[in-house]
Amino acid sequence: MSYKTAILGATGAVGAEFLKILQQREFPLASLKLLASSRSAGKKIPFGDEELTVEKVTEKSFDGVELVLSSAGGAISKKFAPIAAAAGCVVVDNTSAFRMDADVPLVVPEVNPEDIKNHKGIIANPNCSTIIMNVPVWPLHKENPVRRIVVSTYQAASGAGAAAMAELAEGAKAFLDGREFTPKVLPHPAAFNVFCHNSNVGPDGYNLEEAKMVLETQKIFHAPEILITATCVRVPVMRAHSEAINLQFTRPITEGEVREILSAAPGVRIVDDRQRSYFPMPLDATDADEILVGHIRRDISQPDGCGIEMFVSGDQIRKGAALNAVQIAELL
């Protein structure tokens, strides 16, 4: 079988990755419609041997469509995803619009694929940082339940879209040339700088990205009892996020057990060479399907043997967004 498919937000960074992944994985397309805002309508985008024309999204855009891969921003999704679902589509939405809706499954295929069965027309793709953490933590949690997660992220410009990636490059050139540079996409200069993630800070002091990692993980794992705290930071990396993850398990666990579990885990690649001090890096994670996991060690601050530290890197645009959504569609 093949499926009549639409990409909503086709001209963005994730939209471009959708197109690449659909070709690479030979997704069974009966037809493909590219949808975006009016300013992108009429743009020509190559796809295989064809050249597709971007259409302005309207309420009639989903007639005759079976699958929608959406990454056009929360406000657009809130408006058009229910319309698409009412027209008979299944929408895999990459925005935050529906993630915490109790009636919408929030899915990482390596973690909770069975939740897809409960969809009512919309399936939510988790936040990129959540996906990158969940893929390696879940197989460990299944073997030895995790009681607490402390995570610090090192998030690339790609998380803020193509415009932020371009701004990082422009800012780096300006810095090296000794010129002043005023950012327009990010709140602070990204080049040669590190700052708190550029999402709103709530009354509890946690920014929105940090809150997403906590609440989404508890929903995906079906484990509201897991204690999670996150610190999310933007770093001058073009693409692929990294995370330092500290885990407290229910029972003692060894480094060897962690490596053995993760070596057999789907979507994970071990990069853990202590002799060369070679561990996961964004450059190696870029364009990779797997989450790279390494620098695995016992947490010496937990004398009961229940603590593990590890460092991970994953491509935010790929597994953190487009690939995860396509994998959901493949399961459908």
Specify whether the CB–CB gap between 237 and 154 falls below 8 A. Answer: yes
Q: Compute φ and ψ for 113, nearest 5 degrees.
A: -60, -30
**Residue carrying structure tokens 């010129």:** 179
Among 293, 294, 290, 292, which residue's Cα sits nearest to residue 323?
A: 290
- 241 among known catalytic residues: yes
- Amino acid letter, 324: N
Q: Which tokens go with 163?
A: 């415009």
Q: Which of 119, 241, 295, 306 is catalytic?
A: 241
Specify whether the CB–CB gap between 144 and 258 falls below 8 A. Answer: no
- 128 among known catalytic residues: yes
Measured in residues, the chain has a length of: 332
How far does CA 314 lie from the centroid of its chain?
Answer: 9
Q: How many CA atoms lie within 13 A of 14 on its CB side?
A: 30
Sign of CA dihedral 282, 284, 289, 290: negative
**What separation in angstroms does the CA of 17 have from each of 145, 202, 321?**
34, 31, 9
- Amino acid letter, 189: P
Alpha helices (H) along 94-187: 128-143, 162-177
Q: Which of 128, 141, 197, 295 is catalytic?
A: 128
Which 8-state DSSP code applies to residue 288?
A: -
The catalytic residues are 128, 241
